[in-house]
Each structure stands twice: as structure tokens, then as C-alpha cells.
Structure 1
Amino acid sequence: MEVLAIIQARMSSSRLPGKVLKPILGKPMIWHQWQRIKRAKKITKFVLATSHDKSDDRLAHYFLDMGVDVFRGSLNDVLSRYYHCALNYYPKHVVRLTADCPVADPELIDEVVVTHISEDNDYTSIGGLTYPLGLSAEIFRFEALESAYRQALLSSQREHVTLYIYQNSHQFKVKQIKNKIVMPYFRLTVDHPEDFELITRIYETLYPKNKHFNTEDIVDLLAKHPDWALLNAHISADEGLEKSLKHDNIFSENF
């Protein structure tokens, strides 16, 4: 298999529990994200990777009912979950998508895949804050994932799948794709109620007119409603990682 896209999702979010199944326009948030990402043309196969925890039963069944492959693994060792999920398919490359990005852009996903393969990279990502937060996509060789799985020891590296690769970039051929145009920073990921409120407003405004609204449509909308963007502007872009690093230690789960 050439390119496997793994969508990581769980119901036990500490900041907004059950967020992936919270409804927007009558459908779960993750359903809307699925409708967007499945339009990416460079993905060979998609699979949902959730945990064995009972709290994720409903989520797993929801995707199985939609005909999407589901893998269940460790709740806390997300790196292990990715690695063992990928082992079932033996892909050359793995795309990492997170289920808290309901306005993910399929064209950006395709761009990161094409760049990664054409440049023969080990790891390629959408670059930092040159795009609104929530449009991120990462792709890495299966061998890079396996290397991280074998060598990552810190709890932060087991929770944040590609952190080991990023922190040891001298071991890998790494590329960050940066936006060619100046685009304002907006927070379009969902971790808090304020995030969900903003995404709901975006969908309620744009989706009825165009189910395939794109990033430019969102940026134009928020330019017309700057007060909307202020709903979650106070939240740190690296909040989750900062918390992990603050409490970092050698990971104790048996992997």
C-alpha cells in the first residue's frame, strides 16, 4: 500500500469530553471532518485509530457502520496505536490526521503527500503557523514511524506521535511546507467549548451554501466577523504539548 491515512480519535478528551460526536447541523463533528478528508485524492486508504477503552465503543461502531476500517489500541500510548495500526496494512507512507480538525482541507492533505513523495522525505508537514491552526497534516515513512516507536521513551513522545521525529530531525529528512501567501492566524481546531462555538458558526454560515467550502472561504468569513475569531484567540496553540512537556517522564506503560 502506498499511502495510509490514520485518523486518531477518542471520546475521553480532558478539555471537551465527547467532542468528536458533538453535533453540528445535526451530524457529529467527526462526520463533517470525514466528508472533507475523504475527498483527498492521494490517499490509498483511510482507517480510524481509537482506543480499547470502553468510552470509545460508540465512536468505533459509528465508523464501522459507515464502512470505515477501525483499529483499536492503547489509549495513552498513541504512538503505539499508530504503529500497530499501520502494521496491519504495511504502507510505504502514513498520513496522520487528528479528529479535532473539522475543517481539514483535502487539497492541503494532497499537497503534503505529493511534496513528501516527490522529495523523498522521511517526514513532511504543513508548516507551523503559516496556516490557521486546525489544517495540519503530517506524513511520514513507515520506517520513520517504526524508528520512533522503537526509540521514543518519554511520555510526551508516546502521546504526540511525531514528536520524537521532530525532536530528532537530524536522523530524518524533514520538510515543512509553508504557506505561499500571507494568511491570518485563526484557531480552527476543537479542544474547548469556545473552539466548538466558532466551528459551529462557520458551518452554519458556509455549509448550507457550499458543502465543500475551503480555507479561503473561512478566512474571508472571519475577516467579515472579526469578533468570532476572538472567541478562542486566548487559547495557546501549543496548549496540549506544553502540558505534556511540563509533566514529562519515562513512559511506564508496557510497550
Structure 2
Amino acid sequence: MTAARPRIVAISQARMTSTRLPGKVLLEAAGKPLLAHHLERLSRSPGLDAVVLATTVNAADDPLAERAAALGVAVFRGDEHDVLGRFAGAAAMAGADLVVRVTADCPLIDPDLVGALVAAFLAGRRETPPLDYLSIDSARYPRGLDAEILTRAALDEAARLATDPAEREHVTPYVYTRPERFRLGEALRPGTEPSKADPGETHRWCVDEAADYELVRRILEALYPVDPRFGWRDCCRVLREHPDWLDINRSVRQKTLH
């Protein structure tokens, strides 16, 4: 008898009260909010059984819950500051065995790349000992394609035991900083995923500040009307055609762990 396939759920976090660009995920580009682009793209990822939006119980986040529900995406609402607890609650609600973690400020997330991450993790789960955690290498891919996958057991342990504020805010540090406790896979790099992608470029496609939004808006408006199913290499192509666009958010710095 073969073991049942694990239930794989992608959970994306979002809130309206971002400190640098409040309400950013409801800003519009190519005729729809960034959140809609993100959730629709994420939902196309091969291997996923469900997608959940994890937002807060704050009334300010009602529009996020309403937008997700209108797209047919399940919503879990929890504590604004305990993002780890929110993810654990969302995973329990969805009955997840494996959890893909992404953030809703990545409207250009690539479904095929998320699918490649899932496939690589499932292969690692068949090894001895099995993988507990795997991520996309955000230093080698454009920032904004970020995704991580971990077991529900690892997520639940983190939610029970993590006490450091950074571990509660950023969800997975409890796992990936404990290689003696969890088996960590080598991050997925360009050329190592099944699609044999070209080497990544050091671009920034997540939306934290107004300059990020301006760049992402231009990319979406250049690509989405032509082919809504465009991939990350199409984004790279557009930026090669418009190299001056890279200057738009070149000065923005990525937020780091506390």
C-alpha cells in the first residue's frame, strides 16, 4: 500500500497596515488590485490543493478578506503581530500536511516556480531522513518570487515553542535556524529546478514602497494584457527592453529580521 499524497496548502499573508506603504496590496495595476494578481497567479501553481489568505482580525483588513473570498480563496484571520500563530491557524483550518509560505506583496509570483519548489520538496520527502524545509533562493532569483515550503509538523512545533519576536513575525526562522532539529534542503536556484531556468537577475519585484509599486505596475501593464499567464523570465525580458525601469526602485532596501 502506498502512502496517501500529502495535502499541500499555500498560505499567503497580507494586512492593510503596512508601515512603509499602507494598503499596498489593494493598489491597482492592469485593471485589478495587486492582491488579485497575486492570488490568481498563486492558485495556478502545480501541486497545490488549496490557497489560503492569512490576514488579521482588524476591521481595516475586512477589504482583504472580502476580495479573497470573491476570488474563491479561503481566509483565516488572526493576530496582527503573531504571524506565526496566524499561519499555524490557517494550516489547521485548511487541513494542510505541507505548507507553502508566500507573502501577498509579491504580485509577480511565478506559478511554475512555486510548482517546482513543491516538486523538489516532495522528492526530498522520499529521502531518508525526509526534508522538513525548502525555499527558493531569494539571493539568486529576483526578489518577489520568494516561497518556502515546510511540513505542518515543523510549523506547529514552531508555533508552540518560538518565543523570539522575529520568529513570531517572520514565521520560518525557528525552523531554518535549527539544522540540528530539522532537515533543511539546499535552496532552489536557477538551473536546478525542473524547468532549467536561465540564471536569475538581481531585480526587486516585491512591493514595500511606492517605488516598488511603480516598477511592478509597469511590468504588469506591459505583460498582463498580452498574456495573463506570463512567467518570471518574461518580466526579465521586459526589463531588458526597458533598462531604465531598474532605476525606479534601485534605492529601496529589503527589510531584514530584527
SS at match of 1:174: coil
Query: Counterpart in 2 of 1:248?
Result: none
1:55 aligned residue? 60
String of CA shifts for 1:155-195, please: whole Å, max 9, x gaps. Answer: 11100011111221221111111112422200000000000
Q: Does 1:166 align with 2:179?
A: no
2:30 alignment partner, one of 25, 34, 37: 25
- The whole-number CA distance in structure 2 between the counterparts of 1:11 and 1:133 is 21
- Secondary structure class of the residue paired with 1:198: helix
Q: Which amino acid aligns with 2:188?
A: I
Q: State whether structure 2 residue 133 is matched by structure 1 residue 123.
A: yes
Q: Residue 72 of structure 2 aligns with which residue? A: 67
- Residues of 2 paired with 1:169 and 1:201: CA distance? 40
Q: Is 1:113 the counterpart of 2:118 in the alignment? A: yes
Instruction: Look up the match of 1:253.
Output: none
1:177 equivalent among 188, 191, 195: 188
Any runs of at least 4 consecutive aligned residues in structure 1 with deviations exceeding 4 A, and if so which? none
Determine the structure 1 residue equivalent to 2:250: 233
Match of 1:251 in 2: none
Identify the match of residue 240 of structure 2 among 213, 219, 223.
223
In 2, Cα distance between equivalents of 1:8 and 1:184: 25
* Structure 1 segment 76-155 matched on structure 2, within 5 A: 76-120=81-125, 121-155=131-165
Which moves more between the two structures, 3-12 or 167-176? 167-176
Secondary structure (helix, strand or coil) at the match of 1:170 reads: coil
2:138, 2:145 within 8 Å by CA — same for their partners in 1?
no
Instruction: Give the C-alpha shift of residue 67 in structure 1.
Output: 2.3
Q: Distance in 2 between matches of 1:61 and 1:234?
A: 34
| TM-score, normalised relative to structure 2 | 0.90
Contact 2:21 2:208 (C-alpha < 8 Å) held by counterparts: yes
Task: Return the match for 1:42 from 47, 50, 63.
Answer: 47
- Determine which of 176, 179, 204 is the counterpart of 1:187: 204
| Identity rate, percent | 39
One-letter amino acid of the counterpart of residue 150, structure 1? R
The AA in structure 1 aligned to 2:56 is S
List alignment gaps of at least 5 residues for structure 2: 1-5, 126-130, 192-197
Which amino acid letter does the alignment assign opposite residue 189 of structure 2? K
The answer to which of 176-185 and 46-55 deviates more is 176-185
* Counterpart-to-counterpart distance in 2, 1:206 and 1:89: 33
Q: CA deviation at 1:207?
A: 1.3
In structure 1, runs of 5+ residues without a counterpart are 246-255
Match of 2:167 in 1: 157
> One-letter code of the match for 1:75?
E
Could you say which residue in structure 1 is the equivalent of 2:216?
199
**Separation (CA, whole Å) in 2 of partners of 1:7 and 1:200:** 20
